[in-house]
A = this chain, B = another copy of it.
Amino acid sequence: MTSTPLTALPPPVLAAASPADWRAAFRAGDRRPTSGLAAGHTQANLVCLPRDCAFDLLLFAQRNPKPCPLLEVTEPGSWRSVLAPGADLRTDLPGYRVWQNGLLVATPREVVDLWRNDLVSFLIGCSFSFETLLSEAGIPLRHVEQDVTVPMYVTNRECVPAGRFSGPLVVSMRPIPAASVAAATAITALMPAVHGAPVHVGAPEELGIADLGKPDFGKPVEFADGDVPVFWACGVTSQTAVMRAAPSFAITHEPGHMFLTDARDLEYRIA
């Protein structure tokens, strides 16, 4: 990579692009959602907060590990990641959001000039990791088949608060064939670092979800006959908590535009 832009490459070459190739492309200005890129490699949500808020978010994540699985937390000021040696967290994602006092103030391509020496970066696991394994196990992913963003819902369950952070549990929902619910549960249970087992199977009304056709984030997805709605804790939970807390300053990834690490999803499968 580097001389030829990835956008100019034919599909077979794109499919073979490594996480480092993609990070270099983003650094050079490419901007696209990361779903399906460098399949098998772990993607992460990014939240950067001033050091004086970081303890509370670390505690929030410890108390709510299913929605907020921490893959890495950096030293204050560092833009390096052990999950992607050589990467720069300030430039290597395809899009960023910048927040001041809870308000979105910019959506820049990179954040080098906005970086601060007191920023602690949280890399948070993402359901893309377990979707790869579900798919490889032959379990259909309806939102992928229908080419829509997975539907997400704000539930009636409150997270365990920590300091200034609190908020509802947000879940993603995937219609799973009834005969595959057990397998989907078992596969994801073995990946606690990327949301783990479902938090709920069937009965959306118990979660306070009145209409699966009206997700709070993402798009509605069509059920096939015999599909059951299966709910997993979702990384949007932590972003909701951060936005609600309205810290003086924060940087996050642009939704759907994740950090591509060199880690492999299978490394997060514990057995």
A 31-63 contacts with B by CB, 8 A:
51, 54-55, 58-59, 61-63
A243 within 8 A of B: no
Contact A271 B186 (CB under 8 A): yes
A-B contact pairs, 8 of them (CB 8 A): A55-B55, A58-B62, A62-B70, A82-B160, A186-B271, A192-B270, A196-B270, A270-B270
- 1/0 contact string of A168-193 vs chain B (CB within 8 Å): 00000000000000000010011010
Q: Contact partner of A73 among B62, B72, B82, B189, CB < 8 A?
A: B62
**Which residues of B lie under 8 Å from residue A196 when comparing CB positions?**
270
A233 within 8 A of B: no
Contact B73 A63 (CB under 8 A): yes
Contact A271 B70 (CB under 8 A): no
Known: A62-B70, A73-B62, A192-B192. A197 touches B271 (CB 8 A): yes
Known: A54-B55, A55-B54. A271 touches B62 (CB 8 A): no
Known: A54-B55, A55-B54, A55-B55. A270 touches B189 (CB 8 A): yes
Greatest chain B CB density within 10 A among A55, A61, A70, A160 is at A55
Q: How far is the CA of A58 from the CA of B54 in the complex (A)?
A: 10
Contact B189 A271 (CB under 8 A): yes
**Which residues of B lie under 8 Å from residue A270 when comparing CB positions?**
189-190, 192, 196-197, 270
**Which residues of B lie under 8 Å from residue A190 when comparing CB positions?**
270-271
- A263 CB, min distance to chain B CBs, angstroms: 14
- Of chain B, the residue at the smallest CB distance from A196 is B270
- 1/0 contact string of A243-271 vs chain B (CB within 8 Å): 00000000000000000000000000011
9 A-B pairs with least C-beta separation? A189-B271, A55-B55, A58-B58, A189-B270, A62-B73, A62-B70, A59-B73, A192-B270, A192-B192
A 197-253 contacts with B by CB, 8 A:
197
Known: A189-B271, A271-B186. A59 touches B58 (CB 8 A): yes
